Amino acid sequence: MQRRTAFYEQKNIRLDKYNLKLNEALFHNANGYIGIRYDFEEGYEKGYEKGHFIPSQYINGFFEYAKMNQAERLYGLVEEKQIMLNVADTQPIRLFFDGEEFSMFSGAVLASRLRLDMEKGVTVRNVLWRSPRGKEFYISITRMASFYQLPLFTIDYEVLPLNFSGDVLIESSHNGNVFNYVDPSDPRMCNEAAQYLTSVGCEIKAGASYITSRTFKSGLEVCSCVKNVLFQDCQKQFIIDNNDAVCRFMTTARPGERIRFIKYAVFSDSIRHENCRDRAEAEMALARSVPLQELYEKQEAYLADYWNNCGIEIEGDDELNTSIRFSLYQLIQAVGKDQHGNVAPKGLSGDGYEGHFFWDSEMYIQPFFTATNPAISRKLIEYRYRTLDMARENAAILGHKAGALYPWRTIMGRECSGYFPSGSAQYHINGDIAYSIIAYYLATKDIEFIQEKGAEIVFETARLWMDVGNFHEGKFCINDVTGPDEYTCIVNNNYYTNVLAQYHLNWAVKFYSRLKTSDGFDRLVQKIGLSEEEIEGFSKAAENMYLPYDERLKINPQDDSFLQKKSWDIGEIPKSDFPLLLHYHPLHLYRHQICKQPDTVMAHFILDDAQSEETVLNSFNYYEKITTHDSSLSMCIFSIVAARLGMVDKAFEYFESTARLDLLDKNNNTDDGIHVANNGGNYMAIVYGFGGLRLKESGIYFAPVLPERWSGYSFKVTFENSRVLVRVREDECLFRLEIGRAQKIFVYGKEYLLEDSLCISRR
């Protein structure tokens, strides 16, 4: 990967409220366990902290319960949800030079830069500052959320006095009095009381501060530990006041002599550890057992391996290279690395959607990891397995006699969706999770994991289809559900849901057949009471699944009633009315042929063999005219299907519209957190779209096309422990086996054996 794509930076840091909040998200530090928004260590201008500026640090999967008021207390409606919490603030560092305090808002900022280094895995702020009385300093601040030691966050703070000799005071704070960000105008967020943690203890031990807090309702505990290290002769003082531990260093500055201060912070929670206080102490000892430079080297080594597995290079578009690099970096920052966390829509970069996990994980993020780092996909599946019992409970709440129904949005496994028509009714979440397990199997052939955990999920969720659906005039129908398009809710026979259920049921039968003679399978069958009769029922339902089709238009209607609804010309809707969900009543939207995002078109991507080329083309053209793309999950899917249909220019237009979504803040909401699923969609648009990657039972398929603006592109995929480099040029495609054994691959439908390298002419 060329170095030009390794950085994203902002020179002359903009200090207005909009850009400060935006930069908190763009330059945040995260590793899948912890996430820290980029708040200035010294704070903002007086008054900025109120309202929209709350220093924020998160732990993946750590939550509290919050009340959800329903207008009518109908049976089964959610009245309590989970929310991701802001944990103790370990960021604050204040500097005083003979009484003058460093601030980006006082004196003169002579030069500044904020850089995200995606090779080293750090953010760096550089400031050349002159105090109100003329003292000049060069300040460099490096922050890291460690991929090597997930609980660890460090701030490496260096000050170079240029024309100043005198007293320096460094004040480092560790504050447990934290609040969650609240925005009553944002429908995705909580607007209730914002404090969810109460102090259990604040102490100093061996020069480190420990703050342990407990949630009010869930009873979870979190402990953070901070150790401050100054590499100069100094006087040191600790002050504890009201759950805030402050460490003060008094030292002397001399021109040209660098002052270096390192702040180590570690986090531990009671979800993962029985005694989070003791665990935090052990994590701090581990962090301090090696020099920080060694931790930097381990960070860089981790990312070197990561980029070697997943890196993409676009020839002829450096800016787009940086955007794609940014997208892939956000994915590894966001994704949970254990069974207790998953991926929220904003990752660990903000409070948007309250940290809930959706279908985004399986359908937009997991395809990236399945193709580049299947071990992480396995962890995401393990999270779903850990919450399977709660999915069973959820199915029972919704009236189902057997099986499991995963919640539409959740953190710990219970439903958090307050508006059920576009939430709990999205039963396709079961098919999405099963699809991700099947994809993992197709990429790895890890049948042992399927037997251990994957099959149980597939069987239990398949049972749900048999209860929610029924046979009518010989066809298996699924009524009163919602598909991916949230502008069309509670419908009969949503095409996406039905065709995915068909695929799901067929694979439940296949897994049963492949596992039934294996050791230990009897235990699973006995555990869940699975019978041959049920498997036969799965097969019969799949074979007779009703898939809506219109003979006149030769398309798959989105559902049984979709084509009966009024048309609505998107071109006549004022631009100020988008997104429509903020300007039109849901019932008004439901009564029109208008889509928030791809639904049937999404089905044509994930199951493109289910329909003829003609049907896919006709459906694409039909739905393209009525899709608003009000969701950031939308355009990448249209790009993929356009590429599959040979509409390369159109595919590129869709891709380009979304590739820089966060870096350009196109939706004017990246300040709430980056769009992780869109970042996964950017990857899919290149690899699954232009590259034509498909994982099928018969093998791995490629059908590369080349956008006119590019002279070429390359990407890597992992398949059955082999890594393949794919390089696409104007006249040819090169496939090279980098590691692993020879693999059978399909290119433009033709089978090849890849033993070393292949050069195939582009059709």
- Could you tell me the residue ranges of all domains in the chain? 3-301, 373-628
User: Is residue 4 a contact partner of residue 321, using CB atoms and an 8 Å limit?
Assistant: yes
539: pLDDT strictly greater than 70: yes
The whole-number pLDDT of residue 345 equals 96
CA–CA gap between residue 505 and residue 493 (Å, rounded): 16
108-166 tens-digit pLDDT: 999 999 999 999 999 999 999 999 999 999 999 999 999 999 999 999 999 999 999 99
Residues contacting 724, CB < 8 A, separation 6+:
716, 717, 718, 735, 736, 737, 738, 743, 745, 754
Is residue 324 scored above 70 in pLDDT? yes
CA nearest to 336, candidates 386, 297, 389: 386
- pLDDT for the residue numbered 193: 42
Task: Tell me the average pLDDT across 342-367.
Answer: 96
Average pLDDT, the chain: 95
> For residue range 726-756, what is the model confidence (pLDDT) as tens digits?
999 999 999 999 999 999 999 999 999 999 9
How confident is the model at residue 422, as a pLDDT?
96
Residue 185 has what pLDDT?
Answer: 60
Q: Which amino acid, 531?
A: S
DSSP string, 417-468: -S-GGGTTT-THHHHHHHHHHHHHHHHH--HHHIIIIIHHHHHHHHHHHHHH
Distance of CA 437 to the CA centre of its chain: 18
Q: What CA–CA distance (Å, rounded) separates 584 from 594?
A: 12
Question: What is the spatial distance between Cα 428 and Cα 495, in angstroms, rounded to a whole number?
Answer: 10
∠ CA 467-503-718, rounded to 5°: 135
Span 6-39, pLDDT tens digits: 899 999 999 999 999 999 999 999 999 999 999 9
Q: Residue 181: its pLDDT value, please?
A: 72
* Residue 440 predicted with pLDDT over 90: yes
C-alpha span between 540 and 650 (Å, rounded) = 40
Percent of the chain topping pLDDT 70: 97
What SS3 state is found at 349?
A: coil
Total residues belonging to the chain: 763
pLDDT at position 308: 97
CA atoms of 496 and 492, how far apart (whole Å) = 11
Query: pLDDT tens across 69-112, in order?
Result: 888 889 999 999 999 999 999 999 999 999 999 999 999 999 99
Annotated catalytic residue 486: yes
Nearest alpha carbon to residue 102 among 53, 138, 55 = 138
The per-residue pLDDT for range 545-586, each reduced to its tens digit, is: 999 999 999 999 999 999 999 999 999 999 999 999 999 999
Q: What is the pLDDT of residues 706-730, one digit of tens each?
A: 999 999 999 999 999 999 999 999 9
Does the pLDDT of residue 4 top 70, yes or no? Answer: no
Mention every residue, 6+ apart, whose C-beta is less than 8 A from residue 253: 97, 159, 161, 164, 165, 166, 167, 168, 259
Judge whether residue 182 has pLDDT over 80: no
Task: Indicate yes or no: pTM above 0.85.
Answer: yes
Which one of the listed residues 24, 362, 415, 486 is annotated catalytic? 486
Fold classification of 373-628 is Glycosyltransferase (1.50.10)
- The pLDDT confidence band at residue 191, using thresholds 50, 70 and 90, is low
The pLDDT, as a whole number, for residue 3 is 43
CATH for 3-301, among 2.60.130.10, 2.70.98.40, 3.60.110.10, 3.40.50.12160? 2.70.98.40
- Percentage of the chain beyond pLDDT 90 is 93
Centroid of chain to Cα 76 = 29
Question: CA nearest 161: which of 252, 93, 234?
Answer: 252
pLDDT at 2 over 70: no
pLDDT of residue 761: 92
Confidence of residue 1 (pLDDT cuts 50, 70, 90): very low
CA-to-CA distance for 611 and 375, rounded, in angstroms?
Answer: 32
CB burial string 328-342: b at 16+ within 10 A, e below: bbbbbbbbbbbbbbb
For 294-311, the pLDDT digits (tens) are 999 999 999 999 999 998
CB 679 within 8 A of CB 691: no
Largest CA distance in the chain: 90
Q: How confident is the model at residue 55 (pLDDT cuts 50, 70, 90)?
A: confident
d(CA 496, CA 558): 7
Q: What is the mean pLDDT of residues 495-507?
A: 98
pLDDT of residue 180: 86
